[in-house]
Amino acid sequence: MAPILKSPDELQIMREAGRIVAVAHEEMRLAIQPGVTTKDLDTIALTVLGDHGAEPCFLGYAPGEHPPFPATITASINQELVHGIPSDNRVLEEGDIIGIDVACFHQGFVGDAAFTHPVGDVSRSAERLLRATESALTAAIDASVVGNRISDVAKATMKRAGRLGYSVAREYTGHGVGRSMHEEPQVPNWWHSRRSKHKWEDCDLQVGMTYAIEPMLIAGRPDLMELEDGWTVVTKDGSLTAHFEHTVAITEDGPAILTLP
Ligand code: MG
């Protein structure tokens, strides 16, 4: 299926949706410290979205076999890769790293972004993982130019992660973003060889394409499983993970990040 291209006016609305997400990120970053619960952070995000007249995309989201997601953010701590469910019982501890994903609807369009943040002082290895994941996101954004293909974006993530000594989540990908949270194309963090079991459609990058790039880096083996809550994805070996995401647009002047404050 062909990607849905956005007009400059539509991009302007998407920039505003992205800005609201970025403001929610900033408010949560300021609140992250030992003793805070993931539910507290969820409340902050819901308030920011409400203050801007935006609505959470994840709340009630129930694709496939998943139960409806019960919150505004996903909050994933340490070995949790993505899709952690906020809870009053989940208290942040010194040394944790927490990944938070937020997406909102604003005037019919979606903004979607995620970051991972240290809780108090964290280990050197956790710091390294955070920097590497951000670096992989930067590499993928830099590859988001006309003349490249989606496979070039995926390979940029994969190569940067590999060079820094990390594996990437293969089963979870970025995605087109627009009037819907998930559009074509999928934006993988990894590109298949001829014999691999995961395969994605490739496509040329075109002006007006908008998609979320979301590298998920793993300090250990990239084998994942879903917990019984039907959402939380964790590494099987318990190794540390991090996740950063921006929604970007392909423009004549290069990649434009839409999820900035
Ligand atoms: Mg997201």
Q: What are the DSSP calls for 120-184, one per residue?
A: SS--HHHHHHHHHHHHHHHHHHHT-SBTBBHHHHHHHHHHHHHHTT-EE-SS--EEE-SSSSSEE
Model confidence, pTM: 0.96
* Minimum mean pLDDT range among 121-125, 200-204, 208-212, 248-252: 200-204
CA-CA distance, 234 to 116, in Å (whole number)? Answer: 15
| Distance in Å, CA 177 to ligand 1 centroid | 10
Structure tokens at 159: 């190569």
pLDDT band per the 50, 70, 90 thresholds, residue 197: low
| Distance in Å, CA 258 to ligand 1 centroid | 13
Q: Name the 3-class secondary structure at 216.
A: strand
Phi, psi at 58, each rounded to 5°:
-80, -30
11-70 pLDDT tens trace: 999 999 999 999 999 999 999 999 999 999 999 999 999 999 999 999 999 999 899 999
| Distance in Å, CA 102 to ligand 1 centroid | 6
| Distance in Å, CA 229 to ligand 1 centroid | 19
| Distance in Å, CA 51 to ligand 1 centroid | 20
For the chain, which domains are there? 8-257 (3.90.230.10)
Peptide bond before residue 188 is cis, with ω within 30 degrees of 0: no
CA-CA distance, 114 to 177, in Å (whole number)? Answer: 14
Query: Looking at residue 198, what is its pLDDT?
Result: 66
